[in-house]
């Protein structure tokens, strides 16, 4: 079945450090790929998305490129801030038989220290 695997955390970085959170997927078909973020005490928010191979999603300094050949969608940011501390979820979406749902990875908790 469809699945998403992302690096386990927690990840702890100092402010201005480079961030990479790895994400790979398994799917029959051509999924759309997403990164969602959950800040402490808040709901899930879409961070960025990509819908086809080689698309790059970007938002708030974060980037991820849809790599079909490696079935990956790694999240990167060049210089993290304390305010980026949150849990990050990689997800895929596929339509099957008239239904569509998100399949999530288990989440990676990021803590950025001043």
Partner 1 sequence: GAGVSQSPSNKVTEKGKDVELRCDPISGHTALYWYRQSLGQGLEFLIYFQGNSAPDKSGLPSDRFSAERTGGSVSTLTIQRTQQEDSAVYLCASSLSGLPGRNIQYFGAGTRLSVL
Residues at the site binding partner 1, with contacts judged by CB under 8 A: 30-32, 36, 42-46, 49, 51, 89, 91, 93-95, 97-107
Cβ–Cβ under 8 Å, residues 82 and 112 = yes
Q: How far is the CB of 63 from partner 1 (least distance, A)?
A: 18
80/92 with CB nearer partner 1: 92
Estimate to the nearest angstrom the gap between the alpha carbon of 6 and the chain centroid. 8
73/80 with CB nearer partner 1: 73
3-state secondary structure 41-94: CCCEEEEEEECCCCCEEEECCEEEECECCCCECCEEECCCCHHHCEEEEEEEEE
CB atoms within 10 A of CB 11: 17
Q: How far is the CB of 79 from partner 1 (least distance, A)?
A: 27
56/106 with CB nearer partner 1: 106
Q: How far is the CB of 78 from partner 1 (least distance, A)?
A: 25
80/105 with CB nearer partner 1: 105
């Amino acid at each position: 079945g469809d699945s998403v695997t992302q690096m386990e955390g927690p990840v702890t970085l100092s402010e201005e450090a480079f961030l990479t959170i790895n994400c790979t997927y398994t799917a029959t078909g051509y999924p759309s790929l997403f990164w969602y973020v959950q800040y402490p005490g808040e709901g899930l928010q879409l961070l960025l998305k990509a819908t086809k191979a080689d698309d790059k999603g970007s938002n708030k300094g974060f980037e991820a490129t849809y790599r079909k050949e490696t079935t990956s969608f790694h999240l990167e940011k060049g210089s993290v801030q304390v305010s980026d501390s949150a849990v990050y979820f990689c997800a895929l979406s596929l339509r099957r038989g008239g239904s569509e749902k998100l399949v999530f990875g288990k989440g990676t908790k990021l803590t950025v220290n001043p």
